[in-house]
Amino acid sequence: MPLSSADLGIGAIYGALVAAVVGVVAGFLGGRTGDQRLVVAARNGAFMACGMLVLAACALILAFLNHDFSVKYVADHSSRAMPIWFVAAAFYSGQEGSLLYWALALSILSAIAVWREQDRLRHLLGYAVGVLMAVETFFLIVLGFVSNPFERLPGALPDGQGLNPLLYDGGMLIHPPMLLLGYASVGVPYAFAMAALLAGQTDADWMRATRRYALVAWGFLTAGNMLGAWWAYHVLGWGGYWGWDPVENSAIMPWLVMTAYIHGVMVQQRRGMLKLWNMSLVIASFCLAIQGTFVVRSGVISSVHSFAQSAIGPYFFGFLAIVVIFSVAVLVSRLPQLKDEDHFESLASRETGFLLNNVLLTGVAFATYWGTVFPILSEAIRGVKATVGPPFYQQVNGPLLLMLLVMMGIGPLLPWRRATLRHVERSFVVPLAVTGVGATILVVVGLRTPAAVLALAAAIFAAATVFWEYWRGTRARSRSTGENLGLAFMRLVAKARPRYGGYLVHLGVVVVAVGIVSSSFYQQAREFTLPPGTSAPIGRYTVSNQGLFETRESDARVVSAHIGVFDDQGNAWTLAPGKVFHDNFANQPATRVAIETRQLVDLYLVLAGWGDDGSVSIVATVNPMVSLIWIGGIVLLFGTLIALWPERKTAVPPVAVQLRVPVPVEA
Amino acid sequence: MGLVLALLLGLVSVVWADVEDDARGIARELACPVCQGLSVADSPSPLAGEMRDLIRSKLVAGENRDQIFGYFADRYGDAVLLSPPRTGFSAVAWVAPYLGLALAIGFLIWAVRRRAPEKAERSSETEAREYLVEVDRSLERLKDEPLR
């Protein structure tokens, strides 16, 4: 038998494993002895592992494109009839492939980070590579010996199984890779944090690097979660975008803790405080990211997302335990170095605001974690099955998220150290006035649900703060430089990208929040069974059954209903919700949702069933402002990009950092 | 006559719409027993459809939310309730997050306050640091104020 791409792939995985082990050994030794030759060897090991993993990934994609059905993974997840881009995307549709993807993503990010930081963070590089490659080693052992994507079948099959019908969607091409990339990317800030601890050099250097890579990871996690919500909304067909399902919870928890870190680290950079707390947040983010990967890819918790099931559970559990024990041990051994250099001066200060933000974010993460594991605890301790579903999270997390929204408005207006009454007047009057006017308008327009009005008022407040901050900065710059307002605004943002990019992120969050609040409180849903030619009302729409059709697509039979829609303004259009029966999964029809967005209101139709007489059962949902969630998501990511955009090296280090150099003063 | 009929029809549809919304509210709090992670309101399964019909007829018969929840909990066990009961062991599910938050906020206040009475022991080092802090603060103020 000639050498196939699968043989190449398995060879590349073993090669990557060897390179990663070299990276671990040389990295830790080099970090400990300071021998630069060892550090260079470790660095080259990381590059090598990356190259090998790229090779392995290419081999797997090639096996898919060649329809090599002698490879079990290829036969299980693709078929000849599938469109070619889905064949390529089937790469990460199962457990083995997505673990390979994870390892690949971490190795590429590691290589980039190591390349970028090899001069600036020379003293940390050995340990950082060591930690990164240790994580990589674990994944490569699983890939090589437990969950091998290149495992052979006794003989080649004529055709493969095809993709799980739920994955047949454009979202499949971007959501899973983005979220897995998000999980993997948390490894980089974690590695630099651990390196700083191991090297005993917990000064500003690691923080700069870690903060930057944490922001990158945060961006990927954000995009992964947003795309997941978008996918759920467009594909799963239950009219919502977030179900507080265990897999979704696992994806949002590292995001929440990472968000806390990104804010907490600002206090550390500015005031030299919260060192221990920030380290703990980085460690917790990474543990949660590993857990997220584990939950989504092991089937340990039952969920609509568990597409894969196998025996990797104990391996992941063991790995997670090692990561926790190792991290905590290293953290404890360096406790004396993590003493804060300064202390809080007042409850009304920027740093206290950040601290409260951190408490709330980790509080939401904790409540979510608790809700996810409570059914397991209940079963284990009392033998009672319990369910913790969306109503629990809405009631527990809802108020916390509302407080976070309010803090998002208050925080940026507070000065560092201590707020004076004069300052409060100067900063808060305008945003509060805007909020008052806005809330009044909401009530006048007819919003009556107190929780909704409160949440939207908080959103207005947070948005007003952002605009007020932009305006104050622009005006000050324009006055001092004589630039016109437009130019002053552009230069203001360009000069302090993390700050003003961050505000844009806040604005994106506000837009998302408005979308979530509106669609949660003002959703309407109706079920109809419509005989041919009849119609029924929902909200300001009337929907009518204009017939049932059956069509044929590449490897599927599609049944769809033509639904005529009229709204109260005399507009008319047709929607075609349907069910898709893929040939190899005829008993698992996929839903084809029909969505029409007009004036930010979605009419969301799902075909639930049909009768021999041509009658159709339709579930119709009116979802106001869901589009704002996607728009806000784009704003948010754009803000992240601005915050991340590299600044030129001419910038003067921040005043506070310059002054904290210990100056001997004679008494 | 026609007007009366139209009014009556309108009334019926208003009442019916209320039942629909209430039924959906209840269905959203119940887990579909044969699905994974979907509520009775959102599940496409036939059983969930029957449960929705049952909820509607119970509402029309005048039963309230708690009676309906009780009925389903008796039939399918407490696991059918998407928010665990606030009694017995399940109450732990509700208490723990708030307890955690209360502890965290208590810790926050303690962390902010704990350094306050340190003023008594002034060393040359703290004095020097306070001086630097003051310089820091002045520079900060300069940064905030527009240049004149």
Tell me the per-residue pLDDT of A241-250, one tens digit each, with 9 for 90 and over: 998 988 899 9
A38 with A126: CB under 8 angstroms? yes
CA atoms within 13 A on the CB side of A619: 23
CA distance B100 to chain A (A): 7
With a pLDDT cut of 70, the percent of chain A lying above it is 94
Alpha carbon A513 to its chain centroid, in Å, reads 16
- Whether pLDDT at A50 is above 80: yes
Higher per-residue pLDDT: B126 or A434: A434
Residues of chain B with Cβ-Cβ distance to A243 below 8 Å are 37-38, 42
What single letter denotes the amino acid at residue A62?
A: L
A512 & A410 share domain: yes
The answer to whether residue A5 scores a pLDDT higher than 60 is yes
Q: Are residues A633 and A615 in the same domain?
A: no
Q: Is the pLDDT of residue A363 over 90?
A: yes
Higher-pLDDT residue of A382, A140: A140
Q: Is the pLDDT of residue A118 over 70?
A: yes
In a domain, A666, yes or no: no
pLDDT at B138 over 80: no
- Work out the average pLDDT over A18-29: 96
Q: Determine the pLDDT at residue A530.
A: 92
With 90 as the cut, is the pLDDT of residue A400 above it?
yes
Question: To the nearest 5 percent, what fractions of chain A are helix, strand and coil?
Answer: 65, 10, 25
Pairing of strands A601-610, A616-624: antiparallel
Per-residue pLDDT, B17: 63
Picking from A389, A480, A660, the nearest residue to B83 by CB comes out as A389
- Contact flag B136-A659 (C-beta cutoff 8 Å): yes
In which residue are the tokens 């066990």 written?
B77
In chain B, what is the straight-line distance between the N-terminal and C-terminal CA atoms, in Å?
81
User: What pLDDT was estimated at residue A531?
Assistant: 93
Per-residue pLDDT at A325 exceeds 80: yes
Mean pLDDT of chain A: 88
Q: What's the CA gap between A220 and A186, in Å, rounded? A: 9
pLDDT band (50, 70, 90) for residue A661: very low
Contact (CB<8Å) A374/B92: yes
- Distance, CA of A580 to CA of A557 (rounded, Å): 6
Answer yes or no: do B43 and A239 touch at CB < 8 A: no
One domain, residues A175 and A298: yes
Average pLDDT over residues A139-155: 91
Cβ–Cβ of A240/B42 closer than 8 Å? Answer: yes
Calpha distance A411→A407 (Å, rounded): 5
Residues A151 and A59 in one domain: yes
H/E run at residue A564: strand A556-567
Residue at A202 is within a domain:
yes
Q: What is the pLDDT of residues A372-388, one digit of tens each?
A: 889 888 888 888 788 89
Spatial separation of the C-alpha atoms in residues A450 and A521, rounded to whole Å: 10
Say if A389 is an interface residue toward chain B (CB within 8 Å).
Answer: yes
Using the predicted structure, report yes or no on whether residue A332 has a pLDDT greater than 90. yes
Predicted confidence at residue A659, as pLDDT, reads: 42
Q: Provide CB contacts within 8 A for A331, sequence distance 6+.
A: A197, A276, A279, A280, A283, A338
A174 shares a domain with A119: no
pLDDT tens, residue by residue, A571-581? 999 999 999 88
How many inter-chain contacts (A to B, CB under 8 Å) are there?
158
User: Does A667 contact chain B (CB < 8 Å)?
Assistant: yes
**pLDDT higher than 60, residue A654:** no
What gap in Å lies between CA A484 and CA A501, rounded to an integer?
21
Give the highest mean pLDDT range of A73-77, A129-133, A421-425: A129-133
pLDDT at A169: 76
Count the residues in chain A. 667
Are A17 and A127 members of one domain? Answer: yes
At residue A660 the predicted structure's pLDDT band, cuts being 50, 70 and 90, is very low
What does the block give as tokens for A87?
């064949």
Closest CB from A239, A396, A659 relative to B132: A659
pLDDT classification of B110: cutoffs 50, 70, 90: confident
Type of residue at B89: F
Over residues B60-72, mean pLDDT: 91
Q: Is residue A286 part of a domain?
A: yes
Minimal CA separation from B21 to chain A, in Å? 8
Residue A417 touches chain B, beta carbons under 8 Å: yes
Residues A203, A350: Cα–Cα separation, whole Å: 22
Q: Are residues A156 and A176 in the same domain?
A: no
Average confidence (pLDDT) over A62-80:
91
At A304 the pLDDT is 46
Task: Kindly state whether residue A181 falls inside one of the protein's structural domains.
Answer: yes
The pairing of beta strand A601-610 with beta strand A541-553: unpaired
**A661 shares contact with chain B (CB less than 8 Å):** no
Domains of chain B: 2-83 (1.10.8.640), 89-144 (no CATH)
A168: nearest Cα among A256, A70, A79, A251: A79
pLDDT of residue A264: 92
- Which run of H or of E encompasses A501? helix A497-521
CA distance readout (Å), A251 to A175, A188, A256, A630, A649: 12, 18, 9, 18, 36
Q: A313: domain range? A: 164-336+349-376
Q: What torsion, rounded to 10 degrees, do the Cα atoms A179, A183, A185, A188 define?
A: 170
Q: Is residue A119 part of a domain?
A: yes
Residues 6+ apart with CB under 8 A from A65: A84, A87, A88
Residues A472 and A534 in one domain: no
User: Which position has the higher pLDDT, A453 or B13?
Assistant: A453
Same domain, A366 and A417: no
Which residue, among B14, B30, B90, would best test binding to A if mutated, counting the most A CBs under 10 Å from its CB? B90
Q: State yes or no: pLDDT of B122 exceeds 60.
A: no
- Residue A390 contacts B where some CB pair is shorter than 8 Å: yes
Predicted pLDDT at A83: 83
Burial of B100 (0-12, 13-18, 19+ CB in 10 A): middle
Output the six-digit token pair for A288. 């949660």
The vertex-A183 CA angle with A54 and A6, nearest 5°, equals: 30
Q: Which residue has the higher pLDDT, A6 or A583?
A: A6
Q: Residue A12 in contact with residue A52, Cβ under 8 Å?
A: yes
Query: CB within 8 A of A70, min separation 6: which ones?
Result: A4, A6, A152, A153, A155, A156, A157
| Residues shown for chain B | 148
Name the residue in chain B with its Cα closest to that of A247.
B37
User: What's the pLDDT score for residue A69?
Assistant: 92
Q: How confident is the model at residue A588 (pLDDT cuts 50, 70, 90)?
A: confident
* Same domain, yes or no: A294 and A371: yes
pLDDT confidence band for B3 (50 / 70 / 90)? low
Once rounded to an integer, what is the mean pLDDT over residues B84-100?
Answer: 88
Convert the pLDDT of each residue in A28-38 to its tens digit. 999 999 899 99
Does any CB of chain B come closer than 8 Å to the CB of residue A165? no
- B86 pLDDT band (50/70/90 cuts)? confident
Residue A608 lies in a domain: yes
Q: Looking at CA atoms only, how far is residue B35 from chain A in angstroms?
A: 9
pLDDT given for residue A638 in this prediction: 95
Averaged over A506-529, what is the pLDDT?
A: 93
Residue B16: what pLDDT? 61
How far apart (Å, rounded) are the C-alpha atoms in residues A277 and B104?
Answer: 12
Alpha-carbon gap: B66 to the closest alpha carbon of chain A (Å):
15
Is residue A191 pLDDT above 70, yes or no? Answer: yes
Domain end point (choices A143, A162, A181) = A162
Q: Which helix (H) or strand (E) holds A250?
A: helix A246-271
Q: Is the pLDDT of residue A656 over 50?
A: no
Section A157-180 average pLDDT: 82
Query: Distance from B1 to chain A by nearest Cα, in Å?
Result: 25
Which residue from A391, A525, A656 is facing B82, i.e. has the nearest CB? A391
Rounded average pLDDT over A298-326 = 72
From chain A, the residues in CB contact with B79 under 8 A are 375, 385-387
- Do residues A284 and A169 share a domain? yes
pLDDT of residue B146: 53
Number of domains in chain A: 4
Residue B113: pLDDT band with limits 50, 70, 90: confident
Chain A positions in Cβ-Cβ contact with residue B115 (cut-off 8 Å)? 343-344
Q: Is A541 strand, coil or helix?
A: strand
- Co-location of A137 and A169 in the same domain: no
Sign of CA dihedral A444, A445, A446, A452: negative
Across chain B, what does the average pLDDT equal? 78
Q: Give me the pLDDT at residue B8, please.
A: 60
What pLDDT, on the 0 to 100 scale, is given for residue A471?
Answer: 93
**A399-403, A412-416, B91-95, range with greatest mean pLDDT:** A399-403
Nearest to B140 among A346, A382, A655 (CB): A655
Sorted by sequence, the CB contacts under 8 Å of residue A298 that are 6+ apart come out as: A95, A308, A309, A310, A312, A313, A316
Residue A651 belongs to a domain: no
Q: Distance between CA A164 and CA A306 in Å, rounded?
A: 11
Interchain contact, B38 vs A238, CB within 8 Å = yes
pLDDT at A653: 47
Contacts of A608 in chain B (CB under 8 A): 44, 49
Q: Tell me what the mean pLDDT of segment A449-454 comes to.
A: 92
For chain B, say whether A470 makes contact (Cβ under 8 Å). no
Identify whether the C-beta of residue A373 lies closer than 8 Å to the C-beta of residue A392. Answer: no
Question: Which residue from A303, A527, A664 is facing B36, i.e. has the nearest CB?
Answer: A303
Residue A383 lies in a domain: no
Q: Which of A156-165, A213-222, A397-406 has the lowest mean pLDDT?
A: A156-165
Q: In chain A, which residue's Cα lies nearest the Cα of B135?
A: A659
Helices (H), A334-445: 350-382, 390-410, 421-445
Q: How far apart are the first and last CA of chain A?
A: 85
Could you tell me the pLDDT band of residue A289, with boundaries at 50, 70 and 90?
Answer: very high
Q: Which residue has the tokens 């005048």?
A: B62
